[in-house]
Copies of this chain bind each other. A is one copy, B any other.
Amino acid sequence: MTYQALTPDTLANYLRQVPELLSLLGDMDALDIVEVGDGNLNLVYFVTSRSQPARSVVVKQALPYLRLVGEGWPLTRHRSDREANALQQFGARCPQHVPEMFHADSAQSLIAMQHLREHIILRRGLIEGITYPNLAEHLSTYMAQTLFHGSDLYLSAAAKKQAVADATNTELCKITEDLVLTYPFEDHPTNVYSLALPRAAVERLHQPSVRLAAAQMKWAFMNQAESLLHGDLHTGSVMVNQTDTYVIDPEFAYYGPMGFDVGLLLANLLTAYLSQEWHRTQAGQNPAPIQAWLLEQVASVWNGFAKKFIALWVAHDAHAGSSFMGNARDEESQSLFREAFVRHMFSDALGFAGCEMIRRMVGLAKVAEIAAIPYETARALIEVRTLRLAEALLLGRDDFQFISEVIDLAEECRTLTL
């Protein structure tokens, strides 16, 4: 069947022909099908049995253009294959935090997967001031499991090289290369500046030291094929409730620097932190508790990730016949390498966190917790604070020793004035 963008009607017909989905959904003639996509790239349907609402799947279909921009920015549907591949890999590596994939159809650029009916997008929950007791524990596990098991530390050299070739994702990488790692650092027509954002704050991003650092992070993004990344691990790609955490939408997945996933997540926790003063004050609440909780998440996500990554590595080497370093097992060499390795991931994570925070302030795609602030001056103040923190992380990425230093800096930036 040639590709066609499905409507609720044509989707119902399609589903009837897929035995896996037939058995999941039961009565195909009594389905509720509703389009809920708020993304830029895809149609997203919730498909639910009318008589048994627990029988439900999500169907995601790639569109041949970038929806936000419309048909003027064509994108091939190849990314759907990349997402199916990533869901399969991540699901095998960390099933408890990845939605189950039931069916993938390359010709239709379509994936049917677990419907997370009792979960909301993390970004939305954080804007509302909700805390999640397992969040850092789960996200650090997710990153450690997926990033370790995609790398040369775990896979054979041959399997890793095949995985790199299988994960080539040219078009979606290009979006990141341009919109995250290039345009925000120059006066590009796609940039969107808040009206009240002082010109001086924008011009700081054009400093040679900042442009150098951004170019180095872009080089790392394009050249360090370390592990299969989610590639877009912000708080809009995480679904949560008080017990569960799921990482969704890995269509940007490709082999890149491990610090990229970690950095994007830290960046979005930090924008959540810096935006809380406005959101809680608006709601007549004290922002301090959620601010403290968010900074705890920053610390626990990083520290948990580093600890679990090392633990997986140590356990794997103990179990396997040999390690990345060879057969000789002197503990000192191995410890030195592991420490230097984590140190390098930390530096990359902070550099990418800086780029992500900057692009979310001045680039095309914003974060709702800040973009939704309706008062220009209030919004610009938070943008300035975010930009200063971002700049310090990007330029100082090799100098930070501990995540506590990042947290101290975030607290300092929260008190900056325009």
Contact = CB atoms under 8 A, between A and B. Distances in A.
Interface of A: 152, 157-158, 160-162, 164-165, 168, 170, 173-174, 177, 182-183, 185-188, 206, 208-209, 211-212, 214-216, 218-219, 222-226, 324-328, 330, 332-333, 336-337, 340-341
A395 to B, nearest CB: 12
CB-CB nearest 10 A-B residue pairs? A186-B328, A211-B333, A208-B333, A208-B332, A212-B336, A182-B326, A215-B337, A186-B326, A158-B170, A161-B170
Contact of A215 (B177, B222, B325): B325
A337 B226 CA distance: 23
A185 B216 contact: no
Copies of this protein chain in the complex: 2
Contacts of A185: 325-326, 328
Contacts of A226: 223
A337 B164 CA distance: 27
Contacts of A168: 161-162, 164-165
Contacts of A188: 326-327
Contacts of A206: 328, 330
B223 A152 contact: yes
A327 to B, nearest CB: 6
A245 to B, nearest CB: 29
6 contacts: A157-B222, A164-B168, A186-B328, A188-B327, A209-B336, A216-B337
A160 B212 CA distance: 22
Nearest to A324: B215
Contacts of A341: 219
Contacts of A211: 325, 328, 330, 333, 336-337
Given A211-B337, A215-B324, A216-B340, A161 B173 contact: yes
A165 B173 CA distance: 15
A321 to B, nearest CB: 13
A261 B330 CA distance: 30
A219 B170 CA distance: 23
A324 B218 contact: yes
Given A165-B165, A222-B157, A325 B174 contact: no
B152 A182 contact: no
B182 A157 contact: no
A190 to B, nearest CB: 11
Residue of A160, A164, A188, A223 with most partner-chain B CB within 10 A? A223
